[in-house]
Structure 1
Amino acid sequence: MKVLLLGASGQLGREWQRIIEAGYGDEIELITYTSDGLDITHYREMSDKFRNQKPDVVINCAAYTDVDGAEEHRKLARKVNTEAVLYLAELSNELDFKLIHYSTDYVFPGTKLNRREFPEGYHETYPAEPINWYGKTKWEGEQAIRQTTENHLIIRVSWLCGQFGSNFVKTMLKLGQERDELQIVNDQWGSPTFTENVVQNCLNLLNQEANGTYHITSEGLITWYDFAKAIFKVCGTKVNLEAVDSNAFPTKAKRPYFSKLNTQKIEGIEDSRIINWQEGLRKLLRQL
């Protein structure tokens, strides 16, 4: 199977490479492109490379992910997260490859009421209602895929963290070495998604020839404050943590108060495995 990976230098892209090189080298021919090596908004170049490579699967890990930056650079965010994704879907139809695309918990409204209504998280079919421009462009990208090609997997993740790139866990580890006290938001609820678990479940979905939209995150419901407290406890780092509300850290883009993703659908797929967030954290910290 020939797999073409876009956005290969990001958190998910690098995890895909690590796992395929470690265990699937005989089964998967992996061709990687960083965003510098292949800009998905350059349609002619992308089309030429796809026609030359003839992939069976294209994994799109490229995205405009600066949530606050998207509020200021709206055209660029939409170009990357919506318009380029539509073109990928059109190429999927034309060249007959499966498109794997990553989306976000930010497509949902994330209200405090929703937390009480859906303690296990949002189902895949819950109506999208993004509250910031990043979420809006990601939702439009999802819709572009659904309306263009059936041969796709749309994977929604939340609070993504892993060995590579920047994320909350690595930021906490750094700040824990530099400061004795930290203020951490305690009114945003969700669950971290660990990149290794994402890739493993995506490989299983590929093996099962699944199509459609799936949520992948970990079991449990916590705040960022809970997450930080657990990170320092596992590491044995002594830091005084103060729980604060979101308004202590004003941002250009509104953040959801609740962004838990329900994983019941993927748990119904044979050989899938959703891990508890504490298990995922302990494993990630060992890897780091």
Structure 2
Amino acid sequence: MRVLVTGGNGQLGSEWVSYLNRQEVEFIALPSSDFDLTDHADTRRVMGNLKPDLIINCAGYTKVDQAEEEPEKAFAVNSEGVKNLADYCASNNIKLVHFSTDYVFPGTKEDLQNYPQGYSEDHSTDPVNTYGESKLAGEQAIRESGCEFIIIRVAWLCGKHGSNFVKKMLKMGREREELNVINDQLGCPSFAHNVVQNCWKLVAENKLGTYHICSEGKISWYDFAKEIFEQMEIQVNLKPVSSSEFPAKAKRPAFSLLNTQKISNITGIKLIDWKEGLKNLLAELRV
């Protein structure tokens, strides 16, 4: 099997490169700068040259706030580019793995009460920001293309590569004596290594469809930061605050927990508690 990883220099793409290097599989990873999904002709040229059997699409526009100011760019990458890829996969019998987001859901406080275990894969979607809308459009393009696909929704993604909340907190915690962190947005982090490991299991088992992969638990960003500092023994005065104290261009869901019951029923899948996932990540970052 020949595998192509798009967006191979990003947080998730880099994790795939590390993981696939330890597998007996032929693969190539292309950074977004070398492969423009939004260019219909370039997509066909690259695919025609590489002839992959499986595409793992990690390319994406991920600037949540900036998407409010440049929606055309967000939709070009997250929707139109994904459609180009999916249509090619459908025409050439290539399986597509694609990553989406918890932001496709409305994330209301009412949903927190009605769905305390989180949103299931078949729950109705209703994004509250442009980024979420563009990612949902990409999901829909894949389903309409007729290709064989696995769509993985993740939340609060963090890993040893790229930029994420854990790395940001570590840096700020060492530079400041006091930090304010939002305490009224609830969810649970997806740790990149666990995402890749479980996604590869889905590929090996020839599974298709939409799945949620995140760690186990339900926390706020404040809870997450508090545990980071406790595990790293960093002394900082941490204060919980509401989202209103951090005004942003893009609205964030108050509740975006992903229900993982569907994937947890598959033999060989290992979902981890969020504190364990954090411990593993911090160990990787110390190396």
Deviation at 1:237, TM superposition (A): 0.2
Residue of structure 2 in register with 1:93 after alignment: 90
TM-score (norm 2): 0.98
Residue 242 (structure 1) aligned with residue 233 (structure 2): no
> Which whole-Å deviations, capped at 9, do the CAs of 1:80-139 have from their partners, x for residues lacking one?
010111111100111111100000000000001111111111000000000001000100
Counterparts of 2:7 and 2:55 in 1: how far apart (Å)? 11
Counterparts of 2:168 and 2:261 in 1: how far apart (Å)? 30
Counterparts of 1:79 and 1:280 in 2: how far apart (Å)? 33
Counterparts of 1:161 and 1:70 in 2: how far apart (Å)? 20
Counterparts of 1:133 and 1:210 in 2: how far apart (Å)? 30
- Secondary structure of the residue that 1:48 maps to in structure 2? helix
Residue of structure 2 in register with 1:177 after alignment: 174
- Runs (4 or more) in structure 1 with deviation over 6 Å come to none
Residue of structure 1 in register with 2:74 after alignment: 77
Q: Percent identity?
A: 51
In 2, are the aligned partners of 1:153 and 1:211 still within 8 Å (CA)? yes
CA-atom RMSD, angstroms?
0.7
In 1, are the aligned partners of 2:74 and 2:131 still within 8 Å (CA)? yes
The residue type equivalent to 1:266 in the other structure is I
Residue of structure 2 in register with 1:251 after alignment: 248
- Secondary structure of the residue that 2:60 maps to in structure 1? coil
Any stretches of 5+ residues in structure 1 without a counterpart?
none
Counterparts of 1:19 and 1:83 in 2: how far apart (Å)? 28
Matched residue count: 285
Residue 16 (structure 1) aligned with residue 16 (structure 2): yes
Residue 168 (structure 1) aligned with residue 150 (structure 2): no
Residue of structure 2 in register with 1:4 after alignment: 4
Residue 109 (structure 1) aligned with residue 102 (structure 2): no
Residue 60 (structure 1) aligned with residue 57 (structure 2): yes
TM-score (norm 1): 0.98
Counterparts of 1:8 and 1:180 in 2: how far apart (Å)? 36
Deviation at 1:150, TM superposition (A): 4.1
Deviation at 1:65, TM superposition (A): 0.5
Deviation at 1:149, TM superposition (A): 2.0
Residue 275 (structure 1) aligned with residue 272 (structure 2): yes
The residue type equivalent to 1:81 in the other structure is N
> Which whole-Å deviations, capped at 9, do the CAs of 1:156-191 have from their partners, x for residues lacking one?
000000000000000000001100000000000000
In 2, are the aligned partners of 1:51 and 1:95 still within 8 Å (CA)? no
In 1, are the aligned partners of 2:153 and 2:212 still within 8 Å (CA)? yes
